[in-house]
Structure 1
Amino acid sequence: MNPAATAVPAAIHCGGPGLGRSACAMVFVTAGSWSDPPGRSGLAHLWEHAFFAGSGRHRTARDFAAAASALGHTFNGHTAAEYTYFYLSGPADTLDRAMDLLLTCYTAPRWDDGEMAIQRRAIDNELRVFGDDRQRRVRQLATEALHGTGPFALSPLGRTAEIASLTGSDVAAFAREHAGPGRLAVLVDSPAHDSRLDDVIARHFAPARSRPTTGPAPAGYGPLTHLALELAGRTAVVALAVPGVSYRLTTREMYAMRLFHSILGGIPGSRVGTRLRDELGLAYQARTVLEPHAATGALITLFTCAPERVTEAVCAVTRILDEALDAPVSAAELARAVAMNRGIHARDRETPTARCLVRGREILRRGALPPEEEQFALWGDIGADEVLTTARRVLLPWQTRCAVVGPPGTHQPLTEAPELPGAWKLVG
């Protein structure tokens, strides 16, 4: 089957023959937390939790879990800013029945009040875990620094007080208004094409031929602001977010930026890690991540250090970035970055679930599904000059945002640092 020509939500097949005996069916929806209505933060997240909490003849989450496990399948879901996905994964010979279970959750949910209460409590406990995780807190602060104080700055997990008031009727309205079939792709990865899967989909959906439409997303960045959260402890966790990376870039430009990120701080022996850990002794670990969205995003440097050395570490990172945008990329650095990204590329496609998720994101970002061989070959087709030229054109270092989670007063010296123009805000 040609994925690019497949009707949506007819199954998009992500695998190929001879890939083993396991399989995955995934519902990928182009609606996430950025689709939450005002004052109802966490609604998409509650929908994700409630998705498996009773549907069709399976009245409760326990009933559904028993039915899925009887087929040998595990299941899960995830809420991101721009999308939500749900999947079952297990033996290929029961995939048709597993897919029927999965799609019944979408087409015939129960939204039982008792089950909703259970899921709200589960999310409350999840938020407690998030609150104690400094790395996740600083990543979320970096998102807020990039996007301002509006809905695009909120965590996909939601806010406890707003989630507490959400009901099954709210979840039903979200599913109807923001996550309808026009936002849906059904993805399948199995050792061989199984026509029974298309029959299952036909029982649940009328045919539709358009690609999934996308939900709301920020068109630009918020005011230049740095954020600090004061928490007692012996360390400070810092994020420096350099705007510019988004899916407005072409696939080739995104590959070039992934190579630049790898050289800067994304792989062992990278510039940031070597300088901060080995040469300056400022941090145990330091790394970079790419966090692109539809029209916004950033290259983010993350590190943990002693609170009294935060300013020294931040200044060191800004110098490393300046040098990286000024000095050529060496042949050895590029070769290692290409090799590592080829390895990551292969690892991210090792399992049926992983291949479905990669394809779902490609549908969201690009619409088309390029051949896998073409995608893999692109890593070796980008030279050092192209990596540097792309990074210089894309990144906006003068718009860098800083987020700090640490003991009281940790961020105070940074308010005077010339490397970080802009206002500082202390968050609760």
Structure 2
Amino acid sequence: MIFEEGRLSNGLRVATDRIPSVQSVTLGILIEAGSRDDPEGREGLAHFVEHAVFKGTGRRSYLDIARNIEKNGGYLDAYTTKEHICIYLRCLTRHLETSFDLLADLASNPVFPPEEIEKEKEVVIEEISSVNDTPEEIVFEEFDLRSFPRHPLGQQILGTEESVENISVDDLNRFMRHHFVPEKMIITATGDVQHHEILRLSERFLGELRAAPADAAVRIPFTAKDYRPFQKSLKKRISQSQIVLGTAIPRHDPLHYSLMVLNSMLGNGMSSLLNLELREKRGLAYTAYSSLSFLEDLTALNIYTGTDMAKTETTLKLIGELLHSSALCNPDPEEIETAKSKLLGSHIMGMEKMTRRMSHMAGDLSYFGHHISPEETAAAIDAVTPNEVARAASLILHEAPISTLVHKPSR
């Protein structure tokens, strides 16, 4: 791996990760705007923009876009999170220039044909319906809404049917002017690339991008008071109880890797505490896991499981006992080593996937402000001690109260 980083005169960041052994390039444009940047009443706007840029540009129709990338043997995709939109592609090295042109066109020159936008609203509403048919998705979305009731972090990434219907072409263009700007964009390329070539193409196709206007929307920061702890149980038309517990604290970089090891030990994999206690030892659940989210200004921990309604209270009691047990407050060094090995394996094998590598590089530049190599990440994970994991557990589990949301079958 040969990592290089640069910046265009307009402020756009460019980073490359050269891997000479492959014959392809994975190219992405990360925009530092996501669902937490959606204006009130237009929830789902960032995600809709991600869809809408594919509907045509000043130079290409939707069909042109699809044929251009596939004729070159590549593929094109995008995703939206609470804080980012990423549009990316993978192509053979010999098609890099034409593929870069296509990707830059989507990010800088979409035209949002009104008739196509109306059709795409129906597509997104179908996507929302698909989520609403998934009990696990529903309970997580409601958990966020209740955890951050007066903050954009609680907004659903897809929005609601009503908010999507309210989105106009003017909303799309305004979002582009405010967020698809060089100071909020990061170009990352990994694979068979030369840094000077990616810089040249970036300057050629995106060097004229203008900065955001003076009245551009500003992201609302998170503070500890924006998290509202709660305990709630509701009846739903489902087959088993859906349980989510979680908490959120302000960002705390010194324990970043310790929190990752803690999460690995708690709810990641077959040997995790949650899986062993709830599934293997007691047969209470098919799925039990924890997840950790690192956002610009907060860290959130969530625990999920599903169980028979009659076993709900037992399951909740066991999770509560586990969160206050010596297994987390005074962790076994051997368990820590296993958790670290799981993390290291997942990270190293993940970096063998080009799309993951590109996305990870962009995420580092956005979150930390600089690139962290796979070797540096591995060393940081390996250096975590049991005492640091205990401190991380105390921080994430005791600094703010744990919230609980249970969706029970209505039968």
Q: What's the counterpart of residue 367 of structure 1?
A: 369
Does residue 223 of the first structure (1) align with residue 225 of the second (2)?
A: no
Match of 2:214 in 1: none
Counterpart mapping for 1:230-379 below 5 A: 230-244=235-249, 248-250=251-253, 253-324=255-326, 327-379=329-381
- Cα distance between partner residues in 1 of 2:252 and 2:399: 17
Q: In structure 2, what is the equivalent of residue 12 of structure 1? A: 15
After superposition, the C-alpha distances for 1:21-60 in whole angstroms (9 at most, x for unaligned) are 121110100001111111111111110001111113212x
* Aligned counterpart, 1:418: none
In the aligned structure 1, how far is the partner of 2:372 from the partner of 2:299? 23
2:43 is matched with which residue? 41
Q: How does 1:9-408 map to 2 (within 5 A)?
A: 9-13=12-16, 15-59=17-61, 61-193=62-194, 195-206=196-207, 215-220=219-224, 221-244=226-249, 248-250=251-253, 253-324=255-326, 327-396=329-398, 399-408=401-410
Aligned pair count reads 401
The 2-side partners of 1:168 and 1:26 are apart by 25
Structure 1 position 397, deviation (Å): 6.7
Query: SS at 1:347's partner residue?
Result: helix
Contact 1:243-1:396 within 8 A present in 2 as well: no
Could you tell me how far apart the structure 1 residues matched to 2:143 and 2:4 are?
36
SS at match of 2:287: strand
CA distance in 1 between counterparts of 2:389 and 2:151 reads 34
Residue type matched to 1:285 in 2?
T
> Matched residue of 2:325: which SS?
helix
Q: For residue 150 of structure 1, report the CA deviation from its aligned partner.
A: 4.1
For 2:25, what is the secondary structure of its paired residue? strand
Mapped contact 1:24–1:189 kept (Cα < 8 A): yes
**Residue pair 1:145, 1:227 contacting (<8 A) in 2 also:** no
2:261 partner amino acid: L
SS in 1 for 2:86: strand
Distance 1:91 1:324, change over 3 A: farther
Cα distance change, pair 238–348 in 1 and its aligned pair in 2 (3 A): same
AA at the equivalent of 1:11: V
Amino acid of the residue matched to residue 409 of structure 2?
P
CA RMSD in angstroms comes to 2.3
Query: 1:2 offset after TM fit, Å?
Result: 5.9
Identity of aligned residues (%): 20
What SS class does the counterpart of residue 392 from structure 1 fall into? helix
User: Structure 1 residues 403, 276: closer, same or farther in 2, change over 3 A?
Assistant: same
Change (3 A) 1:214 1:185: farther
Q: Distance in 1 between matches of 2:388 and 2:152?
A: 36
Distance 2:238 2:135 in 1: 10
TM superposition shift of 1:17:
3.2
| Letter of the structure 2 residue corresponding to residue 78 of structure 1 | Y
SS at match of 2:79: strand
SS of residue in 1 equivalent to 2:192: coil
* Aligned-residue offset at 1:80: 0.8
- Report the alpha carbon displacement of residue 405 of structure 1 after superposing the two structures with TM: 2.2
Q: Within 1, Cα distance between the matches of 2:152 and 2:287?
A: 32
1:101-159 CA distances to partner (integer Å, 9 max, x unpaired)? 00011221111112212211110110010001111111112222321244321111011
- Check the 8 A contact 1:27/1:184 in 2, yes or no: yes
C-alpha displacement of 1:390: 2.5
Higher mean Cα deviation, 230-239 or 323-332? Answer: 323-332
Give the Cα separation in 2 of the matches to 1:328 and 1:336. 15
Checking the alignment, whether the CA contact within 8 Å between 2:227 and 2:248 is kept in structure 1 is: no
Q: How far did 1:207 drift? A: 7.6
1:305-337 deviation line (CA, Å, top 9, x unaligned): 011221111111010010046642223211211
The CA deviation at 1:393 is 3.0
Q: Distance in 1 between matches of 2:380 and 2:275?
A: 26
Question: Does the C-alpha gap of structure 1 residues 214 and 289 become closer, same or farther in structure 2, counting only changes over 3 Å?
Answer: farther
Mapping 1:408-427, distance limit 5 Å: 408=410
Displacement after TM superposition at 1:83 (Å): 0.8
| Structure 1 contact 267–337 (Cα < 8 Å) conserved | no
1:79-116 residue CA offsets vs partner (Å, 9 max, x unmatched): 11111110011212212211110001122111111221
